[in-house]
Amino acid sequence: MAENKEKASKPADHHKHLDEKYPTPRGIRGNLAKIGFLFLTDILTNFKCVGRDNFPKNNPYVVASNHQCFADGVLIDKWLPRGHFKWMCALVGADLETDYGHLGRLIMKVGRGIAVDRYGNPVRGLIKAKKEVEKGNICFVFPEGTRTHDGKLGPMKDGAAYIAVKAGVPLVPVYISGAYQVWPRSQKWPHPWKAPFKRKKIIVYVGEPLYGKDYDNDAHKLTDAFSKWMHDMEVLHIDPDLG
């Protein structure tokens, strides 16, 4: 009987451990990595933002973006209102910290990652992210669930909309153009040069916030609205080489 009681307590202890572990502490290392990466990005690429004023002046809120490369969260971070970076956390695949070595663990630190099981049950990660938003954090979500394989948009899942609706906060749509050409998933490291002395272009487009109340507080409807905005942006801003 005592043995069964001990076994029954393990799942609860495990969940408590997850709650204490995430968001991943950023620490000095994470802050320095972010500063260094953005410094190099500014120097080596033609890096711009359109619509920066669409970010809410006050947190919390959810940022939902397409997923072109490993560093999408950092690329968006640069354009957040002053002081908002310290509140930023990100919903990320659990495999990032287990299957991608030092780089994956560093990205978890920079983004204050909250791990979600992309191939199983994502509910715990979503609930944890919602709680963090309710505490005042800004949660980055990549609704495609994985980096693009060809530079084009994939199907959008409801995670970002779910968090925004349940927490009662705005969802800010972001479309990134050009990051795939700099750092596609097929390459281990970024390649910022188009030709000698010609930098590749990365542009972050920030849309007007979307509110769950305007979509009957229905995560599916909010996702549909976000997805439409993203596809409209893709038509306008996709790299010609991707067709």
Sorted by where each begins, the domain ranges of the chain are: 48-242
pLDDT at 69: 96
Note the CATH architecture for domain 48-242.
Answer: 3-Layer(aba) Sandwich (3.40)
- In sequence order, what are the residues at sequence separation of 6 or more whose Cβ sits closer than 8 angstroms to the Cβ of residue 139? 60, 62, 63, 88, 89, 90, 91, 114, 129, 132, 133, 163
Structural contact between residues 106 and 33, judged by C-beta atoms closer than 8 angstroms: yes
Contacts of 97 (CB under 8 A, 6+ apart): 24, 104, 105, 108, 113, 115
Q: Which residues, in sequence order, are CB contacts of 169 under 8 Å at separation 6+? A: 60, 61, 62, 133
Residue 241: per-residue pLDDT: 59
Q: What per-residue confidence (pLDDT) applies to 20?
A: 73
Whether this prediction's pTM lies above 0.85 is answered by: yes
Distance from C-alpha of 75 to C-alpha of 58, rounded to nearest angstrom: 20
Q: Could you read off the pLDDT tens digit of each residue along the chain, which spans 243 residues?
A: 444 444 444 444 445 555 678 999 999 999 999 999 999 999 999 999 999 999 999 999 999 999 999 999 999 999 999 999 999 999 999 999 899 999 999 999 999 999 998 777 788 899 999 999 999 999 999 999 999 999 999 999 999 999 999 999 999 999 999 999 999 999 989 999 887 779 999 999 999 999 999 999 999 999 999 999 999 999 998 765 554
pLDDT at 216: 98
Give the model's pLDDT for residue 120: 74
Strand partners, 90: 113, 140
Query: Which residues, at least 6 apart from 158, have a Cβ–Cβ distance to it below 8 Å?
Result: 143, 219, 220, 223
CA distance 37 to 74: 8
**Which DSSP state fits 128?**
H
75 sits in the region (left: phi over 0; alpha: psi -120 to 50; else beta) called alpha
3-state helix, strand, coil in the chain (%, to 5): 45, 20, 35
113, β-bridge pairs: 90
Please report, for residues 21, 31, 216, 230, 240, the alpha-carbon distance to residue 64 in angstroms, rounded to integers and kept in the order given.
Answer: 23, 22, 19, 10, 24
Beta bridge partners of 204: 49, 176
* Nearest alpha carbon to residue 229 among 53, 64, 54: 64
Cα separation, 131 vs 13, in Å, equals 19
Contact 223, 229 (CB under 8 A): no
Backbone φ and ψ for 218, nearest 5 degrees, come out as -105, 115
